[in-house]
Amino acid sequence: MLRVQQLSVNGRRDELLPATSVQVRRGELLLVSGNRQDQRTALALALSGRLKPSGGHFEWDGAEWDGSSKIKTLRRASAVVDSPGVNEPEQHLSVRDLVTEDLALVPRHYRASLLSSPWLKVNRFEDIAGLWTEQLPAARRLELLTALALANPQTDLLVVDSPDRHGDPGDWLPRLEELAYDAGRPLAVVAIVMSLPAGWTGPAAAIGNAGSPSPVDPSTTSETEDAK
């Protein structure tokens, strides 16, 4: 389980991420809402151990750290998916080239058997291998990017940055639910979104909820547009 209490990140002038508390277990999909893209990305990077927090408390699988400690264990166990300005696919890349680049990032002792052509075939992406990444429909794009994240067998936590910027809930929610509830490889999945989908009754939180990491009522979450 990932449990974070009062996680915050200071920017150069203002607070980049206000104190936020969340928790998510393996076999669970948590949606976290926030109006601003910079705050959503900061949360995604901090939750996955890729951005040093200014304050807060982490717990991952029973191991605890305060906000000033290195959390390499969490970073190794997590993957950030499609974060704007961080690791979203470049538009000029073909799917085949993207797969080649991403598989090269898998830890070396798992990488030997991960060649792009066999991977594309086994994972049923041969039909889109020649397309530019910008040509992919939203649902297919997310399917590809999450599959690449999971090519690393160490990945137990997926943090998806703003999947709703590409389409409606039907384009991204079913895939994330499928991954979270997969009995063969149950994952802890966090999707950081602009607003919660209508009718969402699953675990939810909001950026800036500095209290205990308990779920919030989706009906109280703002439906405002992305302020960026």
Q: pLDDT tens-digit profile of 128-155?
A: 999 999 999 999 999 999 999 999 999 9
Task: Taking residues 74-94, report their average pLDDT.
Answer: 93
Q: Any idea what DSSP says for residue 228? A: -
Output the DSSP codes for 150-196.
Answer: TTSTT--EEEEE-GGGSS-HHHHHHHHHHHHT-SSS--EEEEEESSP
pLDDT of res. 111 = 67
Share of the chain above pLDDT 90, in %: 71
Q: d(Cα 39, Cα 226) in Å, to the nearest integer?
A: 11
Tens of pLDDT, residue by residue over 51-64, are 988 888 889 988 78
Both tokens assigned to 221: 């979450």
The alpha carbon of residue 10 and the mean position of all alpha carbons in its chain are separated, in whole angstroms, by 21
**pTM above the 0.85 mark?**
yes
